Structure 1
Amino acid sequence: MIFPIALGYVDEVVTDLLDRLDKRVTPVPVILAETFRSLSACRNTGEGRFIGCAQLLLVWFYSHFWKVDKVSYRVFSENYSPLKELAATPRRDYITMEKWVAILQNIKDEDVEWKAPWLVPDEILYRCGDFDWVPLLGIWGAVGYAPLLVLKQYRSRQFVPATQGLAQSEFSFKDDGYKKKIREVTNTWK
């Protein structure tokens, strides 16, 4: 479910957005923005309900928490989609919330596959304009994404990048002055 407002339903704003997209425009930054915003909100409050792309999060979990010995050649094809593969894969045993909590609380570094087998490193967009991160506009707000914080996923040397101002890059479209911030972000992407 992408951005559900209630279990089993998709927000009308999302369907309207996807209907308006032409073939040259991708909804990926919007989906990433809302997924990161929701995860951030849950982390900041220590609780809450995840309102984002659950399939995207599930693909990330399956790609990083269960190591595989052999990788299918399909992951290197140009039109490979981990989301489509997850949808076509018979479901694993239903994992309850309690089991997820146990998995996440007991995970060790050696249990994590830092680089997803389907991630073929190419170019990494690590900054945008004057920002030392990539600003992403979502449906309900914006968030800054700093790929340099996760270089380990690209099998690169990890270091602590410049992130001054990153925390302030997240805002809701209900906040004061949000229209000015939207203009700043859209001008940066031009």
Structure 2
Amino acid sequence: MENEFLNKVEDNAAVPHNELQDLRDVWASWDEGTKQLFYQSYGDISYLLDIRVDKHLFRVIVQFWNSAYKCFTFGEVDLVPTIEEYTALLRCPRFQVRKTYARVFNSQTFAKKLMSISGMSEPWVAAQIQQKGDSKCIPWENLQDLVLTHPDERKRVDIFALSIYGLVIFPKALRHVDEVVIDLFDRLEKGVTPVPAILAETFRSLNTCWKTGVTALIWP
């Protein structure tokens, strides 16, 4: 079980670099007008594409994660990620702190939400949807094509932002954007803040790493 999890971690460490470079290339190709349109709707989350993660430092820090108290413990000092810190990191002016994101069940289908975000037809969307494990998703290569060729600039911006959320902030299946991310992104138009969801995912991921002993396994 541990070896299986380790292989998955190593895959996750290698493949996202390709996605990040794809996203960086798209951002670099945009003119200032398109970038301003992005900033107005989604804040400065594009800066996440340029963050360099020190894997060795991350492996060390995770060893100090206290899963019982949900904090990092360094001797007698406890440090915990906060909603305020995550809000500052995302830097999006449209977020409303009092309208927290929560997944709504029995609402629009995954396909309908994807149609609304992408502006594509139902047959096109249905042809792109894939099943990965227990959830549906759409491949990054299909979204990348839309970001590069969609005739509607607004849609190109929306799909690019969706890709950042699906590949950088909430990565799950490699090179795919998961249906849960589509649901969250669909709700952003209503001004909800995804910050608590992102913070909860941080806790979940750190707990998983700690319980699996992955830090000890991948330590060089």
| TM-score of Structure 1 vs Structure 2, range by shorter chain | under 0.3
More strand by share: 2
The TM-score, its normalising length taken from structure 2, stands at 0.23
The TM-score, its normalising length taken from structure 1, stands at 0.25
More helix by share: 2
